[in-house]
Amino acid sequence: MKILILILAIIVCLNMPAFGITGLGFGLHAGMTNNYSYSILDDSLRAIAQNYPGLGIPDDIRFSEDLTSIGAHLKVGTLPIIDFYLFADYAWKKKELSSDIDLRLSDFSFGASAKKMFGFSILKPYLGAGVDMHNLVYTIEADSAGLILPVPDNQTKIGYHVVGGIELNFPILPLDPYAEYRHNWITTSEKVTKYGLFLLGLTFSI
């Protein structure tokens, strides 16, 4: 059902601007997350530390690492100064739990955003919101063969985000750089995953 909702949202984003498309563009973006928070993952790590004291994992351990994120996007500009974006992102991080045990978290996501542009000058601030789908994978990597430690199950969940940023638009150039902050909520099991994402991107106008 959630996948159907996301597909419908993307279809709406593609069809709403059909009455007045002012431009198309595609590009790449990259950045880092901050304040990554999923309490169920933190509880799992602390349970591992308490139940396996011989592994040398700190009792107060929590996953507070910044994930590296890369992605690509398609931009659809419209007459009411609203731009629609379709994007696909991949974020990952490996956290050392002890000298021979690592936790790897990866997040593949795709989604859609609507962004309201302000002003018509070279410098264009914007605000927006959107929906996305996340495939989250939690993996323990250990040197000890056969060691199985409890971590959250892999999950595919819908998410929501709000964005704010600044785009530079040079009339004589087909390239538009931008800086963006995206705040995300993912409806993960039991508790919501929350984090911020700082992005730098470049859009090539078609």
Gap between the Cα atoms of 178 and 55, Å rounded: 45
Contact status, residue 129 vs residue 111, Cβ threshold 8 Å: no
Indicate the length of the chain as a whole number. Answer: 206
The structural domain count of the chain equals 1
Gap between the Cα atoms of 97 and 101, Å rounded: 5
User: Per mean pLDDT, which range of 25-29, 154-158, 168-172 is the poorest?
Assistant: 168-172
> C-alpha angle 77/80/86, rounded to 5°?
30
Q: What is the tens place of the pLDDT at every residue in 37-72? A: 888 888 888 888 888 787 777 777 777 778 999 999
Of the two residues 63 and 10, the one the predictor is more confident about is: 63
Provide the pLDDT for residue 126.
94
Which pair of structure tokens corresponds to residue 191? 């508790």
Cα–Cα nearest to 144, from 93, 102, 106? 102
Average of per-residue pLDDT values in the chain? 83
Cα separation of the two ends of the chain: 35
Gap between the Cα atoms of 183 and 108, Å rounded: 16
SS3 category, 149: coil
SS3 category, 171: coil
pLDDT band at 7; cut points 50, 70, 90: very low
Q: What is the tens place of the pLDDT at every residue in 14-44? A: 444 444 666 789 999 999 998 888 888 888 8
Which pair of structure tokens corresponds to residue 141? 């990597």
Gap between the Cα atoms of 67 and 98, Å rounded: 19
Of the two residues 130 and 144, the one the predictor is more confident about is: 130
Gap between the Cα atoms of 183 and 194, Å rounded: 8
Provide the pLDDT for residue 58.
79
Provide the pLDDT for residue 184.
96
Provide the pLDDT for residue 11.
46
The CATH number linked to 143 is 2.40.160.20
Contact status, residue 133 vs residue 6, Cβ threshold 8 Å: yes
Which structural domain, as residue segments, surrounds residue 105?
Answer: 2-205
Provide the pLDDT for residue 8.
44
Of the two residues 119 and 156, the one the predictor is more confident about is: 156
Of the two residues 96 and 181, the one the predictor is more confident about is: 181
Which pair of structure tokens corresponds to residue 23? 């431009």
